[in-house]
Structures are given as C-alpha cells and as structure tokens.
Amino acid sequence: MPQLGESVTEGTIGRWLKRPGETVAKYEPLLEVITDKVDTEVPAPEAGTVLEILVAEGDTVRVGTVIARIGAPEEVATGAQPATSPEPPAPVVTPVATQLAAAAPPAVAQPAADGTARSGFISPVVARLAAEHGLDLTRIAGTGQGGRVTKQDVLRYLETRQAEAPVAAPTTPEAPSPRVVAAPPAPASADATPLPEDAELVPLTPMRRSIAEHMERSVRTAPHVTTVMEADLSRVVAHREANKAAFERQGARLTFTPYFVQAVVVGLQRVPVMNGRFTDAGIVLNRRIHIGVAVALDEGLLVPVIRDADEKNLLGLARIVNDLAGRARTRRLAPDETQGGTFTITNHGVSGSLFATPIINQPQAAILGVGAIVKRPVVVTQHGVDAIAIKPMCYLSLTFDHRIADGATADAFLAAVKEALEGV
C-alpha cells in the first residue's frame, strides 16, 4: 500500500485493474485505492506479470503493507487466484510510513471474540468510532489482516447491535401480568426490513458513506448557527465581464468562485478567529489560510483545498480553481488535496438555490454558502434620494461553530466578505 498523502495512514482496495497472470507495464494503472472520499489510481512500480494479489477488493490495510507481487512470467503459479491472504507477509514500511505509524494510536494486543489472542493495528477511524459509541473492540470479530478490526467490522457491529437492542415498554402502575408471547427473531441488520415491491435498496458507495459519517459527526460535535446577508454583485459581474477574455488568453477561465475566495480571505484576515478550530484546551488560530471549495459530483461531494489562498491574486486563484475542480470531477485528486483546509466555501447557487444552511466541515470554525446570483429590484440611495434599480444580488449564508464565535463576531466576518465583494 503506497504512501498516498502525508496524513494518510491506510487505504481501502477499491478495484484491481489487473488480475494474476496478466502483464502490466511500468507506471500502468494497477489498482484503485479509496482513502476517505478520494479514489486514486495506483500505477505499477515495475513492469512484469501480476503473480499474486494478497489483499482483496474492499479490504483496508496500513500504508506499507504488501498487497500484490509482480515478477517474471515463468514465476506465475499454476491456478493463481486472487486471494485475501489471511496471513500476508510482514508489511514493508517506508520511512514516512514509520513516522505516521509513530503518530497514530499504538498497536494493541486484543483477545479475539473466541478467547484467542490477536494483535492488530487500530486505525484512527476505528479508534474514533469506538470512542464515540463506547465500544469494546475485543468484542468485535475482526476480518482484517491477522484478525484486525476494520471500519467495516465496527459499522456491521453497530448495525447488528441497533437491530438487537430491546425496545423499552411503557410501564403502567398495577397493570395485570401480560400473557407471554414468543417474539419473532430480531433481524440481522437494521436494514433488514422487507422492502415493498415498488422500492429498491441502493447500496452506499464509499464516498456516500464517508460523507454521511462526516456530516453526522459534525452536527453531533458543534452547535451550528447560521447568519445570512445579501450582497450586491454589480461590481463583481462588471469586472468579470471586462476581464474574461484577458484571462482566457492566459489560459484561465474566470468564474465567480475566485472572487468569493478573495473576499473570504479579507474576512479571515479581519476576523482571524473564523480561521480557527475549537479544542478542549482552547481555540487554535491557524496562521495560514487554506480554503476548501466544494465541488459537486454525481455520486457526492469533494472539497479540494486552495493552500495559502491569501498569497494568490485573482488570476492565480482562477487557475487553481479550474485545475482543482477539473481534477475533482475526473477523480484525479490526490488524497492530500482534500485535507488541511481551514475554511470552506460551498457554492450551492450553481443549481439555483437562493440560500442554505450548510454543515461545517470539521474541525473548521465555519462554512460560507453562496446562493444564486439573481437580478432583482432593490432600493438604492444616491445623494439622499431613494430609487429602485435592477441589481445582481446574492445571499451569503455563514454557518459557524457557536463554541468559537458569537453572532456579533460571525456578522463582522460576513460583513467584511460582503464589503469586499461590493468594493471590487
């Protein structure tokens, strides 16, 4: 399992693109690996024949684990088949992986559900799920390497536990003893309820499941509050129309997104706490500004990050927005490119939405929702005289963590964003 990002400690085999016995060229795509919400094609490090696949599709392993073998054609074993390899060779850990392993939760020895001993690496995701739900991992049968408990094992355990949980019956004083009736067996899963004939069950993709878990955790973690203002984008629209052709000649398509990124930079510089994150020890203020921009895909949402957005001009922002959005839609982002953001922008207005209450991208302090730009009549005042004018207006909705900021602070930030947009 290759090192796919500085903060990535494990990956899930999404799909093998080659099978045992097939030849592969050096740097030809060999498999797809899923890390969080990003699918990454992994090229073959050498040319040769795929001799053996050691990790099956859907399995999650640590960085540095041997997942396949490539060699000369004469080395192919007769009848070689894809295998899950219950006891694969010891992982070959790179220096970077060693550093990551040291920073990750330590490996712990666990007794298996059948009483036998097993030892396995507990990933940060598994550790977080266990902490959130108060789980004893020794009670969960692991299907990973060497009996390691994987994320999928924990989710299956939670579904089974929920399905088998007894429903407390209301108590009635001096009620007669009820007649005992044998209850039907509990379903094996919370999703085992029979479906009507006119319905179908669509399995969750890894991306959809990851988004669901992240959004649920965010709502449980932070008290969400949303404040809304509207901005007059007359100057932004005029500036874009005047400069679109010039940007095209320099190889950059000028959209509205770079303007919103620039305005958010102004707001974060004026109200730095909105570029922070909450911890039990205090509020961490990030000195660098890394802005995530949500990109909608057919199967979900990705948030590539513009690093050091405050150091880029409008042309630079336009180029990087085009690049990141294009590679997000073609699933060519590296895992690190969706991590490390300090603030997020979601432009829900591209589909016609006027305003929304977006969910915070944890552990950030806030997220800005940008509504559709709509021409409508507004009252303008010039030289003390009120008049009605047609203006391109846009609602800006800021959802923020109330543990970090109060309404006045959030409004000050949003007002700075509005002022920056109207002063272009």
- Give catalytic residue positions: 402, 406
Question: And the tokens for 232?
Answer: 């007059």
Query: Which amino acid is located at 3 in the chain?
Result: Q
Cβ proximity of 230 and 395 under 8 Å: yes
* DSSP one-letter code for 74: G
Residue 311's CB is within 10 A of a number of other CB atoms, namely 10
| Token couple for 166 | 């007894």
Q: Residue 205 gets which letter from DSSP?
A: P
Q: Which amino acid is at 296?
A: A
CA 267/CA 269 separation, integer angstroms: 5
What's the rounded Cα separation, in Å, for the pair 388 and 380?
6
- Cis link prior to 178 (omega < 30° from 0)? no
Greatest distance between any 2 Cα atoms in the chain: 90
Other Cβ atoms less than 10 A from the Cβ of 49: the count is 19
Structure tokens given for 288: 């660098």
Closest Cα to residue 121, out of 10, 210, 36, 33? 10
Distance CA 135, CA 379 (A): 59
